[in-house]
Amino acid sequence: MPKRVVSEERRRRRRPTKSGRVLSEALIVETALRLLREHGGAGLTARRLGLALDCDPSTLYRYFRGMDELTLAIGDALIGRALHGWHPTGQWRADLRAVGLRIHAAYLSHPQAAVLTASRVSGRAGELAADEAVLDVLRGAGFPLAETVRVYHAFIDTTLAFAALDAASLALPGAARRADEDMWRSTYARLPAATHPRIAEAAPLLATRMVTSAYPTALDMLLASAENSLGPVPHPRSALQDPDDTP
């Protein structure tokens, strides 16, 4: 006789844990973020998460099929936080810049989690909302469908790539991160012009700029390029109608 299917809702734990908390996906994700911040990626295990939540580790599998699904939920939560409170203004460049900076900042607020999740595709609610928002801004600005997808691809991959790169630096032990940053002053700034003329002339600027994120600059360059490809803004029409589809 086949086993009766139990709904996802009924699999959730309703009784409080020993510490008096009722488990939820949001609570598990928040606790996982804390463990990542304190112990890094290697410290996020079902056993350690169960101890932090004061529950048996097996209980977690009522909410997530495994640790990989939890990882996807963590990344989705970061994107969802980035969009919280954001509303489009109708100025497409300003809107996309705001979305990009928000996503980048959300990941950097949890660098250990960003290292694990920035390269993943979850298909969950926060990610879908962000994708829909970016595509809608581009279509509303008058980009043809194919160009919309091209710019969206560059925009989201640039944002996530810089989030992963910058988060990886922030996730380093403090001494290693400081040593990397000091290299621009201790080594690059001392190279003689006779052997490295271009580095020597740029050294003071490199020492200042290279310890900050290049993402805002790269984002502005990407949006400027997209604006050049847009050309004259077409007559206003529905964002869902492709200019190439006009009879």
Q: What is the tens place of the pLDDT at every residue in 17-40?
A: 666 678 999 999 999 999 999 998
Q: Give CA angle at 62 (72, 26), nearest 5°.
A: 50
* Count helices and strands in the chain by DSSP H and E runs: 11, 0
Query: What is the CATH superfamily name and number for domain 64-172+220-228?
Result: Tetracycline Repressor, domain 2 (1.10.357.10)
Per-residue pLDDT at 235: 47
Percentage of the chain modeled with pLDDT above 90: 81
Check pLDDT > 80 for residue 242: no
Q: Report yes or no: 155 and 134 within 8 Å, Cβ to Cβ.
A: yes
Residue 5 backbone class (left: φ over 0; alpha: ψ -120 to 50; beta: rest): beta
Mean of the per-residue pLDDT values for the chain? Answer: 89
pLDDT at 190: 93
- Residue 134 near residue 152 (C-beta atoms within 8 A): yes
| More confident site: 14 or 174 | 174
Confidence check: pLDDT of 172 > 70? yes
Cβ burial of 40 (10 Å; 0-12, 13-18, 19+) is middle
Query: Can you list the pairs that 205-213 forms with residues at least 24 positions away whose Cβ atoms lie under 8 Å?
Result: 210/184, 211/181, 211/184, 213/104, 213/162, 213/166
Enumerate the H helices of 40-194 as residue ranges: 46-53, 67-83, 92-108, 111-117, 125-141, 145-170, 174-186
Task: Answer yes or no: are the C-beta atoms of 47 and 95 closer than 8 Å.
Answer: no
Angle value at C-alpha 65, between 59 and 66, nearest 5 degrees: 85
Nearest Cα to Cα of residue 210 among 237, 241, 187: 187
**pLDDT beyond 80 at 4:** no
Report the candidate in 87, 181, 80, 93 with the shortest Cα–Cα distance to residue 124.
80
Is residue 116 within 8 A of residue 75, CB to CB? The reply is yes
- Which distant-in-sequence residues (6+ apart) come within 8 Å of 142 by Cβ? 230, 233, 234, 243
Tens-place pLDDT, residues 51-65: 999 999 999 999 999
